[in-house]
């Protein structure tokens, strides 16, 4: 019987062949599905590792498996595999990619990691000593999750920064992270037909970036930009209100991601661990 917060049989069958084999040292590995269910339970509930129910095995084993697979990119490979199969089946809606960000409050337990040598609030991954993307904003220590979804509201890519980082400065990084591999030959798919974003992304640099890539955009202009255009005698940028209504799919995706309590509040000290948790949550949305 599948318990609440556990992988369904259908979801397990899709990812089981991709999980790493035993490294060949020591005894047998504890069952992958049992451990993975423990990891999902932890992210769903936001509980401490030590509080994972005994039915999933020793918490140390579960944590070490999560830690190892976070460092070697296993979670990202699983997500890319599922996205590639969905794209091959025509289930990825490339007609419009929606971009937005959300603030995640950092728990006090997330504030004790060793600092790296980067600017405050930026993101860097340096193995197990990864700097943490934390920034001080009105709500205290926060992390900002920048997300791109397809037209159905399923996550394609995300970037983590400190909560004090402006949305528009990370737009190109988010778009560069959209890379859905192909099952056969060919380059990963990276370019949607259209991008929809709110006025926080209204800038000349972003519009120029999209135009050079041949991507049309629906981004409303800010009041000061409209006034500046009128003063210079320039016409307004093209804007389709009906198409803009599709932007709410990214808001709905944030809502689904934040149903994972381990995502809605950041408890992880290391950026690589919180990034892995968000990747797992995105994977589960694709498998739902």
- Name the more confident of 235 and 221: 221
Q: How far apart are CA 190 and CA 266, in angstroms?
A: 29
Burial bucket for residue 208 (CB in 10 Å: 0-12, 13-18, 19+): exposed
Q: How far apart are CA 65 and CA 46, in angstroms?
A: 18
Residues 125-153 pLDDT 10s:
322 233 568 888 776 889 999 999 999 99
Over residues 246-259, the mean pLDDT reads 97
Over residues 9-15, the mean pLDDT reads 94
Over residues 10-28, the mean pLDDT reads 80
Q: How far apart are CA 207 and CA 213, in angstroms?
A: 10
pTM of the entire predicted model: 0.88
The 8-class DSSP code of residue 258 comes to: T
The count of C-alpha atoms lying within 13 angstroms of the C-alpha of 174, restricted to the half-sphere facing its C-beta, is: 30
Residues 141-196 pLDDT 10s:
899 999 999 999 999 999 999 999 999 999 999 999 999 999 988 899 999 999 99
pLDDT of residue 98: 97
Confidence of residue 30 (pLDDT cuts 50, 70, 90): confident
Name the residue with tokens 């005994």.
54
C-alpha distances in Å from residue 32, one per residue of 11, 18, 36, 46, 240: 13, 11, 6, 21, 48
The 8-class DSSP code of residue 151 comes to: T
**Mean pLDDT, all residues of the chain:** 87
Cβ atoms within 10 Å of 5's Cβ, excluding its own: 15
> Which of these ranges, 64-78, 122-136, 197-211, 240-254, has the smallest mean pLDDT?
122-136
- Name the more confident of 238 and 146: 146
Beta carbons of 222 and 123 less than 8 angstroms apart:
no
Percent of the chain with pLDDT over 70: 86
Return the structure tokens found at 112: 């004790």
Phi then psi for residue 90, to 5 deg, are: 75, 20
Nearest Cα residue to 202 out of 174, 167, 227: 167
Q: Does CATH number 3.30.70 belong to domain 93-267?
A: no
- Name the more confident of 20 and 2: 20
Judge whether residue 201 has pLDDT over 70.
Answer: yes
Cβ-based neighbours of 45, under 8 Å, separated by 6 or more: 5, 261, 262
Give the 3-state secondary structure of residue 245: helix
Phi then psi for residue 101, to 5 deg, are: -140, 160
Confidence of residue 228 (pLDDT cuts 50, 70, 90): low
Beta carbons of 2 and 9 less than 8 angstroms apart:
yes
3-state SS string for 66-118? HHHHHHCCHHHHHHHHHHHHHHHCCCCCCCCEEEEEEEEEECHHHHCCCCCCC
Q: How far apart are CA 281 and CA 271, in angstroms?
A: 15
Cβ-based neighbours of 191, under 8 Å, separated by 6 or more: 213, 214, 215
> Which of these ranges, 113-117, 155-159, 206-210, 259-263, has the smallest mean pLDDT?
113-117
Q: Characterise 26 by phi-psi region: left (phi > 0), alpha (psi -120 to 50), beta (else).
A: left
Beta carbons of 98 and 149 less than 8 angstroms apart:
yes
Kind and range of the H or E run holding 243? helix 241-244
């Amino acid at each position: 019987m599948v318990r609440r917060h556990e992988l369904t049989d259908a979801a397990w069958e899709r990812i089981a062949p991709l999980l790493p084999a035993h490294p060949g040292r020591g005894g047998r590995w504890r069952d992958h599905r049992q451990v993975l269910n423990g990891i999902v339970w932890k992210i769903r509930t936001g509980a401490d590792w030590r509080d994972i129910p005994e039915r999933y095995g020793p918490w140390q084993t579960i944590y070490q498996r999560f830690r190892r697979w976070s460092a070697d990119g296993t979670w990202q490979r699983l997500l890319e595999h599922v996205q590639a199969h969905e794209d091959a089946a025509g289930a990825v809606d490339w007609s419009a990619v929606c971009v937005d960000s959300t603030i995640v409050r950092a728990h006090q337990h997330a504030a004790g990691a060793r600092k790296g040598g980067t600017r405050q609030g930026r993101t860097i991954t340096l193995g197990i000593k990864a700097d943490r993307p934390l920034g001080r904003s009105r709500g205290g220590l926060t992390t900002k999750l920048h997300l791109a979804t397809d037209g159905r509201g399923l996550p394609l890519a995300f970037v983590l920064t400190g909560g004090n980082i402006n949305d528009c400065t990370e737009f190109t990084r988010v778009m560069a992270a959209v890379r859905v591999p192909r099952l056969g030959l060919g380059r990963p798919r990276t370019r949607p037909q259209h991008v929809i974003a709110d006025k926080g992304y209204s800038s000349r640099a972003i519009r120029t970036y999209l135009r050079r890539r041949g991507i049309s955009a629906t981004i409303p202009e800010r009041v000061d930009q409209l006034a500046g255009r009128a003063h210079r005698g320039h016409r307004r940028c093209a804007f389709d209100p009906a198409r803009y209504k599709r932007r709410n799919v990214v808001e709905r995706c944030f809502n689904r991601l934040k149903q994972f309590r381990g995502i809605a509040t950041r408890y992880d000290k290391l950026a690589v661990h919180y990034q892995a948790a968000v990747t797992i949550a995105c994977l589960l949305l694709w498998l739902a």
